Structure 1
Amino acid sequence: MKKLFADGSLLFVAFIWGSTFVIVQNAIQTLPPHLFNGIRFLLAAIILSLFVGKKEKKFITLKLMKAGTFLGFFLFIGYAFQTVGLIYTTSSKAGFITGLSVLIVPILATYYLKEPPKLIIFISAGFGTVGLYFLTLAGISQINFGDLLILICAIGFAFHIVFTSKFTEQHPALPLTIIQLLTVSILSFLSSFTFEKTLVSLNQVLHGDVIFALLITSIFATAIAFYIQTKFQQFTSAARVAIIFAMEPVFAAITAFFVLNERLSMYGLIGCLFIFTAMITTEIPKLLKRELKQTNHI
Structure 2
Amino acid sequence: MKKSYLADLILLGVTFTWGATFVLVKEAIDTMPPFTFLAVRFLLGGLVLALFMAAFFRHTFKGMSKEIWLAGTWLGFWLFAGYAFQTFGLMFTTASKAGFITGLSVVLVPFLSLWLLKHPLKKKALLGVAIATVGLGLLSLNRDLSINVGDLLVFCCALSYGMHITLVGRYTVRFHAMPFALIQILATGVFNAIGAFLFEDYTTAWSPQVLLDAWVLSALLICSVIATAFAFVAQNQFQKFTSPTRTALIFATEPVFAAATGFLVAGDRLTAAQVFGCLLILGGMLFAELGGGQDSEPHAEAAT
TM-score calculated relative to the size of structure 1: 0.93
Q: Give the match's secondary structure for 2:174.
A: coil
Matches within 5 A, 1:3-14: 3-14=4-15
Contact 2:36 2:202 in 1 (8 A): no
Offset at 1:48? 0.7
Q: Give the match's secondary structure for 2:35.
A: helix
Matches within 5 A, 1:236-251: 236-251=242-257
Answer with 18-27 or 53-62: which moved more: 53-62
Q: Which residue pairs with 1:192 in the alignment?
A: 196
Q: Give the match's secondary structure for 2:228.
A: helix
Contact 1:85 1:146 in 2 (8 A): yes
Q: Distance in 2 between matches of 1:66 and 1:153?
A: 22
Offset at 1:197? 3.8
In the alignment of these two chains, the number of paired residues is: 288
Q: Which residue pairs with 2:34 in the alignment?
A: 33
Offset at 1:272? 1.0
1:273 matched to 2:274? The reply is no
Offset at 1:148? 1.0
Q: Give the match's secondary structure for 1:117.
A: coil
Matches within 5 A, 1:1-298: 1-52=2-53, 53-139=57-143, 141-197=145-201, 199-200=203-204, 201-286=207-292
Runs of 4+ in structure 1 over 3 Å off: none
Q: Distance in 1 between matches of 2:291 and 2:256?
A: 25
Offset at 1:198? 6.9
- Matched residue type, 2:259: A
Offset at 1:138? 4.1
Offset at 1:145? 1.4
Answer with 199-208 or 86-95: which moved more: 199-208
Q: Distance in 1 between matches of 2:243 and 2:81?
A: 22
Offset at 1:271? 0.2
Q: Give the match's secondary structure for 1:87.
A: coil
Q: Give the match's secondary structure for 1:120.
A: helix
* Residue deviations 1:31-67 (CA, integer Å, cap 9, x gap): 0000000000001101111122332012110001011
Q: Distance in 2 between matches of 1:85 and 1:243?
A: 23
- Matched residue type, 1:27: A
- Matched residue type, 1:254: A
Q: Distance in 1 between matches of 2:142 and 2:97?
A: 4
**CA separation of 1:223 and 1:37: change in aligned 2, threshold 3 A:** same
Answer with 17-26 or 191-200: which moved more: 191-200
Contact 2:124 2:287 in 1 (8 A): yes
Q: Distance in 2 between matches of 1:235 and 1:260?
A: 36
Q: Which runs of 5+ in 1 are unaligned?
A: 289-298
Offset at 1:191? 0.4
Offset at 1:10? 0.4
Answer with 45-54 or 121-130: which moved more: 45-54
Contact 1:96 1:138 in 2 (8 A): no
Give the superposed CA RMSD: 1.4
Q: Give the match's secondary structure for 1:96.
A: helix
Contact 2:196 2:202 in 1 (8 A): no
Q: Distance in 2 between matches of 1:250 and 1:283?
A: 18
TM-score calculated relative to the size of structure 2: 0.92
Contact 1:137 1:267 in 2 (8 A): no
